[in-house]
């Protein structure tokens, strides 16, 4: 079981790779005149300057090696409404791919193809979604020991539950199911709710959940929605230039953060309360002024996070000007709503640290909402490529932007920041891949891309594709 394995790893110094290769995301739009996720709205301890010391950061910049590279799509399955996640558990050696469709269904794709009946259907527990909507079934993670314990985890938007104010949009739900690992269809009868968060607005829901190499579950939480991180449900923070600030507040709610919890225990820290999950004792705010679940904060809409060994990449959707990807750091503060990317937000000048002296971390890569070169309005975070199919992509972080007409971007980790970004053309892509919604990675390191030909949560143009050489 994971507990004994974690103890073994701690004793031996061996690093456990994450148990999930998955992708989560959702169509993103700026049509709300400033409140949307898009352009018209928005584990390693490091030294104070925000630089890291991992091996990948010490590599020279050889991004020119990506020049002229072209890749292709092998379409594995289609007919989805809005495929916003694909989880590929190691328990099946990458032979089973579980595609999350935003309205509330999970579909199994295996050697037989796409199964005709959904693997899991929770549409009766998810808010009704349609048209442009950022809510829905947004994330799926399989326990690292799923083959033995049958436990999987869901992240979805439910109608307002008890404890959510009547003028709020919905309730964020993180839950656990225990199922037969070999079944091709399962029910939600065993569902156990682990966490509920009141969501004031319908947007900025994030949705990614993933197990890290430490065996803990990492949960991405948006700032609550709206524009500027202010308004209904957005508390005041320490920065006076912009009112509101769930991203900078760590004491009132869990919004605008990456959480880290222990699903293999209960009772919070040391089993001292009634929480249905444990809190790692080394979480940065344990014993300090703040909420114990929070691992990092200062985020707007962290739309995808993925582990590559011990490095965790967190893509954060910007508001009006900049999109960013960060390397997750324990206790890291990524600046929202003081900064958007590495730039001051709604101010000509802004601090680079909190009043207590904690630094605001710069992203490892960023790109603008316009101009020459890579651009867009809503970053779709991806994965570092570790496969054999496309040797030129080895060690490269591959990602996209929702409104980049299906183009893919790549950045090779390097010591200086921000990293250089290269566009990777897709050979013979049709309009069915116009909108990239999410990425996934299998145990062999090959990448998968969830796409749609529709910017709304409707129709059946969604596809699951495997990235191939052109």
pLDDT at 47 over 60: no
Q: What is the mean pLDDT of residues 427-456?
A: 88
Q: Could you report the per-residue pLDDT of 304-344, keeping only the tens digit for each?
A: 999 999 999 999 999 999 999 999 999 999 999 999 999 99
What pLDDT, on a 0 to 100 scale, did the predictor assign at position 371?
86
pLDDT at 95 over 70: yes
Interacting residues of 348 by C-beta distance below 8 A, sequence separation 6+:
none
Is there a contact between 411 and 421 (Cβ–Cβ < 8 Å)?
yes
Least confident span in 62-76, 228-242, 453-467 = 62-76
Is there a contact between 86 and 97 (Cβ–Cβ < 8 Å)?
yes
pLDDT at 384 over 80: yes
Distance, CA of 319 to CA of 110 (rounded, Å): 38
pLDDT at 34 over 80: no
Q: Could you report the per-residue pLDDT of 181-231, keeping only the tens digit for each?
A: 999 999 999 999 999 999 999 999 999 999 999 999 999 999 999 999 999
Q: What is the mean pLDDT of residues 130-146?
A: 96
Distance, CA of 55 to CA of 415 (rounded, Å): 9
pLDDT at 403 over 80: yes
Distance, CA of 24 to CA of 29 (rounded, Å): 16
Distance, CA of 179 to CA of 160 (rounded, Å): 26
pLDDT at 385 over 50: yes
pLDDT band at residue 57 under the 50/70/90 scheme: very low
Percent of the chain whose predicted confidence (pLDDT) is above 90? 78
What pLDDT, on a 0 to 100 scale, did the predictor assign at position 407?
84
pLDDT band at residue 13 under the 50/70/90 scheme: very low
- Does residue 433 sit in helix, strand or coil? helix
What pLDDT, on a 0 to 100 scale, did the predictor assign at position 380?
97
Distance, CA of 382 to CA of 150 (rounded, Å): 27
Would you list the domain boundaries of the chain? 2-58+85-381
Least confident span in 43-52, 127-136, 385-394 = 43-52
Least confident span in 72-86, 107-121, 191-205, 414-428 = 414-428
What pLDDT, on a 0 to 100 scale, did the predictor assign at position 26?
35
Q: How far lies 220's CA from each of 138, 179, 280, in Å?
A: 11, 24, 17
pLDDT at 38 over 50: no
Nearest CA to 336 out of 407, 322, 327 is that of 322
- Does residue 402 sit in helix, strand or coil? coil
- The per-residue pLDDT of the chain, averaged, comes to 87
Nearest CA to 196 out of 222, 168, 223, 162 is that of 162
Give the DSSP letter string of 304-322: EEEEETTEEEEEE--SSSE
pLDDT band at residue 361 under the 50/70/90 scheme: very high
Give the DSSP letter string of 135-180: -SEEEEEE-TTHHHH-EEEEEEEESPPTTS-TTS-EEEEEEEEE--
What pLDDT, on a 0 to 100 scale, did the predictor assign at position 287?
95
pLDDT at 19 over 60: no
Interacting residues of 56 by C-beta distance below 8 A, sequence separation 6+:
311, 395, 413
pLDDT at 291 over 50: yes
Q: What is the CATH number of domain 2-58+85-381?
A: 2.120.10
**In the structure encoding, which two tokens stand for residue 212, read together?**
């890290």
Percent of the chain whose predicted confidence (pLDDT) is above 70? 85
Least confident span in 101-115, 253-267, 410-424 = 410-424
């Amino acid at each position: 079981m994971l507990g004994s394995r974690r103890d073994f790893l701690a004793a031996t110094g061996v690093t456990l790779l994450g148990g999930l290769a998955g992708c989560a995301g959702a169509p993103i739009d700026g049509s709300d005149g400033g409140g949307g996720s898009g352009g018209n709205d928005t584990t390693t301890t490091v030294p104070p300057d925000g630089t890291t010391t991992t091996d990948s950061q010490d590599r020279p910049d050889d991004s020119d090696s990506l020049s002229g590279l072209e890749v292709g799509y092998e379409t594995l399955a289609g007919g989805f409404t809005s495929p916003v996640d694909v989880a590929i558990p190691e328990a099946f050696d990458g032979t089973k791919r579980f595609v999350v469709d935003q309205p509330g269904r999970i579909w199994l794709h295996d050697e037989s193809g796409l199964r005709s009946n959904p693997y899991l259907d929770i549409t009766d527990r998810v808010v009704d979604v349609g048209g442009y909507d950022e809510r829905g079934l947004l994330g799926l993670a399989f326990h690292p020991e799923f083959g033995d314990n049958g436990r999987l985890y869901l992240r979805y938007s439910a109608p307002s539950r008890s404890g959510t104010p009547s003028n709020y949009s919905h309730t964020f739900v993180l839950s656990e199911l225990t199922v037969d690992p070999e079944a091709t269809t399962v029910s939600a009868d065993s569902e156990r709710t682990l966490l509920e968060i009141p969501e004031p607005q319908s947007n900025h829901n994030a949705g990614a959940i993933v197990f890290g190499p430490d065996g803990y579950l990492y949960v991405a939480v948006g700032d609550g929605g709206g524009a500027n991180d202010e308004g209904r449900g957005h508390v005041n923070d320490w920065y006076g230039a912009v009112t509101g600030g769930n991203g900078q507040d760590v004491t009132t709610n869990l919004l605008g953060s990456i959480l880290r919890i222990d699903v293999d225990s209960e009772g919070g820290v040391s089993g001292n309360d009634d929480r249905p999950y444990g809190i790692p004792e080394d979480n940065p705010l344990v014993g300090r002024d703040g909420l114990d679940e929070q691992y990092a904060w200062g985020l707007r809409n962290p739309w995808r996070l993925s582990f590559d060994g011990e490095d965790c990449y967190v893509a954060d959707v910007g508001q009006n000007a900049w999109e960013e990807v960060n390397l997750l750091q324990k206790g890291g503060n990524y600046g929202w709503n003081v900064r958007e990317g590495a730039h001051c937000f709604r101010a000509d000048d802004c601090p680079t640290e909190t009043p207590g002296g904690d630094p605001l971390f710069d992203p490892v890569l960023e790109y603008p909402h316009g101009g020459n070169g890579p651009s867009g309005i809503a970053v779709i975070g991806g994965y570092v490529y570790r496969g054999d199919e496309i040797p030129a992509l080895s060690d490269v972080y591959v990602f996209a932007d929702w409104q980049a007409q299906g183009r893919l971007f790549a950045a090779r980790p390097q010591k200086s920041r921000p990293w250089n970004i290269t566009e990777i053309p897709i050979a013979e892509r049709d309009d069915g891949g116009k909108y990239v919604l999410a990425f996934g990675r299998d145990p062999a390191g090959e990448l998968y891309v969830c796409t749609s030909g529709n910017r709304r949560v409707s129709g059946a143009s969604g596809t699951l594709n495997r990235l191939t050489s052109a």
